[in-house]
Structure 1
Amino acid sequence: MMVLWLTLLLLHEGCTLTPVTTVQLGEPATFTCVSPDMLSNRIFWYKQSAGDALKLVVRLQKHAKPVFQAEFSASRFDVKVSENMSHLTILRTTEEDEGMYHCGVLEWSVITWSATYLSIEEQTTSSEFVALVIAIVCLVISVIGNIVFICHRSPRAACGQCKAVALQKNINRQSIQQSNKDTLVYSAVIFTMMRADSGAVKDATAVERERIYAAVKAFRLDQ
């Protein structure tokens, strides 16, 4: 009987292309087997690894519970049957689950075969992703550090600016006071030099005094 099944399987695979199902490691994988009337037939699910023979996974029969083989625990596999479909599901895939899964539907003396190849891709964290995460973490730490530094330094900088402004105002005030003192001195000198009798005749000395007065007055206006 097994030889007949293998012969039919080889003829079937030689005439058709086998579909491929690809899942990530640890994800579930489901295979589907279609038949005109599943409830009235017997169903056999097989697994075939590369370079290995067929291994029976589960056998289903009408009005009976699925019978799993010892190597394929019911805690890892689930099988369901509807009117014209049978679904075999690996709940959590491992690397050993990769291979060809065959469904054989036996109706009287006729066997209908279908096969699906399961490809497992490992879920590995790429070096580029790790580098990206490290870069993001470093950037966040740098930004937080700069914010803390600015907040810690700002009060001191503001205080220093206030002191500099106050010092500049003090210097300007002292300069203005000194300038006012110089102007008052010139005014006193001018007042003393300009005292003369209104009826006196202006001589050379008086003319010279008027020139000095005009020069000092012009100096004050320019200021």
Structure 2
Amino acid sequence: MVYWNTLIPVIPVQLGESTTFTCDLSNTYISRVEVSWYKQSVGDNLKLIVNLREHTTPQFAPEFPNSRWKVNIHDNFTNLTILKTIQEDEGIYHCAVIERFVFSKWTTFIMFCKRKSCLSHILHSSDFTQKVLNIWPNVIDLCR
């Protein structure tokens, strides 16, 4: 069973700043949870950033060196931090929470690099895929 969030945070970030995404793990048995963080650029497939479990070393994909990324898992949440953002970090980030034998949960964030002053936006979506496809070009254009 998959639980889709209906609010998709849009996170504007200045190049060179750090940014952190937080994924809710409440109502899960942390000892049975595996978390995977993914990145998706416009027109591209999902790319695995990292897999992690409690009390284990995070396994970063080769394309995402841990010198630029930090990931933590706690009792009620997990964080993914980009330590110093670059233009190529712009994209859609996904947190997949797999709790063995119980359920899966998927959380999505949209991060874009600010070029001018921008406001954060929350996107409301009942049809996640179509909404992201429709709004993504507009989000990118907000600050160009």
Superposition TM-score, scaled by structure 1 size: 0.47
Q: Any residues of structure 2 matched to 1:109-124 within 5 Å, and which?
A: 109=101, 110-122=103-115
Q: Which moved more, 1:91-100 or 1:107-116?
A: 107-116
Matched, 1:19 2:9: yes
Superposition TM-score, scaled by structure 2 size: 0.72
How far apart in 1 are the matches of 2:52 and 2:44?
23
Matched, 1:68 2:60: yes
Alignment partner for residue 21 of structure 2, among 31, 36, 44? Answer: 31
How far apart in 2 are the matches of 1:58 and 1:85?
15
Identical columns (%)? 44
Count of aligned pairs: 113
* Counterpart code for 2:72: K
How far apart in 1 are the matches of 2:63 and 2:29?
25
1:107-159 Cα offsets, whole Å, 9 max, x none, are: 12411010100011148xxxxxxxxxxxxxxxxxxxxxxxxxxxxxxxxxxxx
Q: Any residues of structure 2 matched to 1:27-106 within 5 Å, and which?
A: 27-36=17-26, 37=28, 39-40=30-31, 41-106=33-98
**Contact conserved, 2:53 with 2:73, CA < 8 A, in 1?**
no
How far apart in 1 are the matches of 2:7 and 2:18?
23
**Contact conserved, 1:38 with 1:84, CA < 8 A, in 2?**
no
1:154-203 Cα offsets, whole Å, 9 max, x none, are: xxxxxxxxxxxxxxxxxxxxxxxxxxxxxxxxxxxxxxxxxxxxxxxxxx
How far apart in 2 are the matches of 1:17 and 1:78?
24
How far apart in 1 are the matches of 2:17 and 2:69?
13
Larger radius of gyration: 1
**Contact conserved, 1:78 with 1:88, CA < 8 A, in 2?**
yes
How far apart in 2 are the matches of 1:94 and 1:38?
35
Please state which structure has a larger fraction of its residues in strand: 2
Give the match for residue 125 of structure 2: none
1:63 Cα deviation from its structure 2 partner? 2.3
Identify which of structures 1 and 2 has the higher relative contact order when contacts are C-alpha pairs closer than 8 Å and 6+ apart. Answer: 2
Alpha carbons of 1:30 and 1:17: their partners in 2 closer, same or farther (altered >3 Å)? same
Please state which structure has a larger fraction of its residues in helix: 1
SS at match of 1:105: strand
1:61 Cα deviation from its structure 2 partner? 1.6
Alpha carbons of 1:66 and 1:93: their partners in 2 closer, same or farther (altered >3 Å)? same
